[in-house]
Amino acid sequence: MNDIEVRQYFQERIDRLLAHYASSRNKYETIWSFYRNQMPQCIANCTNEGKKYSPEQSIDGPQGIYWIGSHPKILFVGREHFGWYGPTQWEADRVSICCSPLEFAFFTVSSMGAYWAIIKELTQEVLALGLGDWDAVLEKVAFTNACKCLADSGTLQWFLHQGCSNSGYLRHEIKTVAAPLSVLFTKSYNLSGTIFAEDTTKLMESDDFCVLRMGEQVLIECAHPGRQSIEWRARLKGIMAQYLDGAEPEREPDA
């Protein structure tokens, strides 16, 4: 590969990224305008929470929504986020908070390691997509985090989660992305029993999985998939497939 070929390769990827972005632009704009309302206070509150915990503690982020495909079937909520860009201020870093996460689609996958391998497995099997066509996969998925402000201490992260939950990002993102199915890797925060308890109907609950209906959308809450067994992943795939079918009444019946 010479310089021109490398440059050409990346130019093509940039063109594809911009085409993906254009196809979901309205949803990004809606979410980013919500950030405009909520983030300044959220950053202040979460930073204060961190200072209470430890004076030297700096909060990572906030970070925005990672990705919205043009026709998202599944919104995945929660991923490994440590090692983000460091503390930012909404006023000064608005563009990087909104745009940096988009890089995930092309440049940060390798750092997602085991998590991404599991996401690929879930996406490929539940949506029956070939992974060879990466852009086709990206059209069908969306990614975000429940928590925008991040810490590398689990205890502090739990407090930040309460702060960011109160800002309402996740509910707004689930509704705006409008995927029929959202998979929340947030069981340790029990969002199904707290912020989503009031306006949802419980469809199923077991030790490992809780399934809620919120309007036309289905939410599955479960543990972070990183350290779960093959058997656990098989059960998750079964539940995802079951409720994805149920969530898509317009789908053609099998002939």
Q: Of 164, 191, 222, 236, which lies in the binding site for Zn ion, with binding defined by CB under 5 A? A: 164
- Shortest gap between Cβ of 57 and Zn ion (angstroms)? 14
Return the residue nearest Zn ion (CB atom).
149
**Residue 146 contacts Zn ion per CB under 5 A:** no
In whole angstroms, the minimum distance from the beta carbon of 110 to Zn ion comes to: 28
Does residue 42 interact with Zn ion by CB under 5 A? yes
Please tell me the distance from the alpha carbon of residue 57 to that of residue 108, in angstroms, as a whole number.
25
Q: Which residue has the tokens 């405009």?
A: 36
Strand partners, 142: 68, 75
Distances (CA, A) of 7 to 2, 20, 21, 106: 9, 20, 21, 15
In whole angstroms, the minimum distance from the beta carbon of 147 to Zn ion comes to: 7
Residue 208 and residue 232 in contact, taking contact as beta carbons nearer than 8 Å: yes
Among 31, 46, 170, 177, binds Zn ion (CB under 5 A): 46
Q: Contact between 97 and Zn ion (CB under 5 A)?
A: no
Min dist. Cβ of residue 62 to Zn ion (A):
6
Please list the alpha-helical segments (H only) found in the chain: 3-23, 25-53, 90-99, 104-107, 113-127, 134-140, 154-167, 169-177, 230-246
Assign 3-class secondary structure to 144-205. ECCCCCECCCHHHHHHHHHHHHHHCHHHHHHHHHCCCEEEECCHHHCHHHCCCCCCCEEEEE
* Residues in region 102-131 near Zn ion by CB under 5 A: none
Q: Which of 137, 149, 150, 212 binds Zn ion (CB under 5 A)?
A: 149
Nearer to Zn ion, 63 or 200 (CB): 63
The count of residues interacting with Zn ion (CB under 5 A) is 5
- The window from 29-37, 46-54, 114-122, 242-250 that contacts Zn ion (CB under 5 A) reads 46-54
Residue from 72, 163, 180, 225 touching Zn ion (CB under 5 A): that is: 163
Q: Which stretch binds Zn ion (CB under 5 A): 45-53, 150-158, 175-183, 225-233?
A: 45-53
Query: DSSP letter at 224?
Result: -
Query: Which stretches of the chain bind Zn ion, using CB under 5 A?
Result: 42, 46, 149, 163-164
